[in-house]
Amino acid sequence: MLFSRITKLGMIGGALVGGVLTGIIGFGLANASPAYYSASPPTYKLNARGQTYGSGVGVSKISQEPDLMQAVGTNGKVGYVYSSELYGSQPKTPQQAVALDSQGPRTIPLYASDGKTVIGSFVIGGGTSHSMTIQQAQAQPAKVSN
């Protein structure tokens, strides 16, 4: 009987230790930055106007994004949108947030890498997507625009 109690206590203690260790390891993994994100900001290309342009993939902070972020327009062309236009005006109150949300989708220009030449448009919001992935667009080289 004593042996039975010791065995039970040992099993319970082992389960507790195992649970704590699993929780510690799981918490550490959950807080670790995935390899997808870089600790340092990516290096972007510069256009003639001194603006950075490229993909926003892998950045962990808005401050690391390029001036012109790569996007796929409604016409299937790969181009760039201004990060500032992409985010638009940010609400300061819940009422402003509701008002902005009720406006529905908005369309912004899609530019060539020069940040000046408009090559299409990009739709933000509305619950539907008129675009395709970068990989899909790159599979159609005739439509790709720099």
pLDDT band at 115 (very low <50, low <70, confident <90, very high): very high
Q: What is the CA radius of gyration of the chain?
A: 25
Residue-level pLDDT at 129: 46
Residue 62: closest CA among 45, 43, 83: 83
Residue-level pLDDT at 1: 58
Residue 78 has pLDDT above 60, yes or no: yes
What percent of the chain shows pLDDT beyond 70? 58
pTM beyond 0.85: the answer is: no
Residue-level pLDDT at 109: 96
Looking at 24-38, 51-65, 90-104, which range is the least confident one? 24-38
List the domain boundaries for the chain. Answer: 1-32, 45-143
Residue-level pLDDT at 116: 97
| More confident of the two residues 133 and 44 | 44
Cβ atoms of 77 and 144 closer than 8 Å: yes
The 3-class secondary structure across the chain, one letter per residue, is CHHHHHHHHHHHHHHHHHHHHHHHHHHHHHHCCCCCCCCCCCCCEECCCCCEEECCCCCCCHHHCCCEEEEECCCCCEEEEEHHHHHCCCCCCHHHHHHHHHCCCEEEEEECCCCCCEEEEEEECCCCCCCCCHHHHHCCHHHCCC
Task: Using the Cα atoms of residue 40, residue 41, residue 43 and residue 46 in order, give the sign of their dihedral.
Answer: negative
Q: Which residue has the tokens 């892998």?
A: 58
